[in-house]
Amino acid sequence: MNPNELDTGMLRFTTGWDAAVVPRSIIALFGALILLLTLRAIWKRDCGVPAALLWLIAGAVSLTFACIPQQIVNSVMTTEYILRLRIVMGGLSLLVLLITLESIRKTRLQERYALLWVATALTILLCALFPQAVNLFRAVTGMQYGTAVVAVAFTFLVLVAFHFSIAMSAMENDRDKIAQRVALLEFRVKELETKLAEKEKSSGIKADRSRP
C-alpha cells in the first residue's frame, strides 16, 4: 500500500471523528485517569522522574487526541506523508533524549549505559531533520523512507539490548564471586565463634579448678 492509498483510507476512517462520542469519551477518561494516578504517585513520591514524565505525556496525548476537532484531523491527514513521519520521529527522538539526560541527572544513570540511548535518539533526530542522510541506505537496500528509518532505529535498539546483555552477564559473574566470598567469610566467622566458645569453656573449667 502506497502513502496515497493509506491517506485515502485514513481520511475515510477519520471522517466521522466529531460524531464518535463514545470512543472519544473513553480515550478522554483513560487519559484523565493516567494523569490523576501519575500526579498521585508524584505527590507520594512513589514514582521516579523519567517514569512520571512518560506517564504524563501519555495522559496528555490521550486527552489531546480525544479533544482534537475534525478540521485538525483532516488537515493533518492531508499533509505530506514524509513530513508527518519526520515530525513523529523528531518528537520521539527528543523525548528519548530528554528522558535519558534526566535519568543521568536524577537517577544517576551511568554514562556507559546511556551512551547508546543518546546515540539512537540523535541518529533518529538527524534522520528526521535531514532526510537526505537516509538516501544512501535507501539506495543500497531498496527500502522506503519510513522502513529505512525503522531499520536504523532497530539496529541501534539491538545494539542497546546486546550491550545490556553483556552488562547483565558481568553482573551475574560479579554476583557469583560475591556470593562465594560471603560464604567463605561466613565459614570463617563460624570457625572463629567455635574456637572462641571452646576457649571460653576451657577458661571457665580452669577457673573452677583453681577455686579452693
Q: Which of 124, 52, 133 is nearest to 93 (CA)?
A: 124
The SS3 of residue 142 is coil
Cell triple for 42: 508524584
What pTM value is reported for the model? Answer: 0.59
| Domain region containing 4 | 1-79
Cα 149 → chain centroid? 19
Residue 110 falls inside a structural domain? no
The number of helix segments (H) and strand segments (E) in the chain equals 8, 0
Report angle CA 102, 106, 110 to the nearest 5 degrees.
80
Query: Is the model's pLDDT at 123 over the cut of 50?
Result: yes
Residue 167 falls inside a structural domain? no
Residue 90 falls inside a structural domain? no
Residue 103 falls inside a structural domain? no
182 HSE (CA, 13 A, CB side): 6
* pLDDT single digits (tens) 136-176: 777 777 777 777 777 877 887 788 788 778 878 878 888 88
Q: Give the lowest-confidence range in 17-21, 120-124, 192-196.
A: 17-21
Give the model's confidence band at 205: pLDDT under 50 very low, under 70 low, under 90 confident, else very high.
Answer: low
- E strands, the chain, are none
Residue 112 falls inside a structural domain? no
User: How much is the pLDDT for 8?
Assistant: 55
Give the model's confidence band at 14: pLDDT under 50 very low, under 70 low, under 90 confident, else very high.
Answer: low
Residue 201 falls inside a structural domain? no
Residue 19 falls inside a structural domain? yes
Domain count, the chain: 1
d(CA 59, CA 12): 27
Residue 125 falls inside a structural domain? no
Helix 111-129 with 81-106: angle, nearest 10 deg: 160
User: How much is the pLDDT for 79?
Assistant: 74
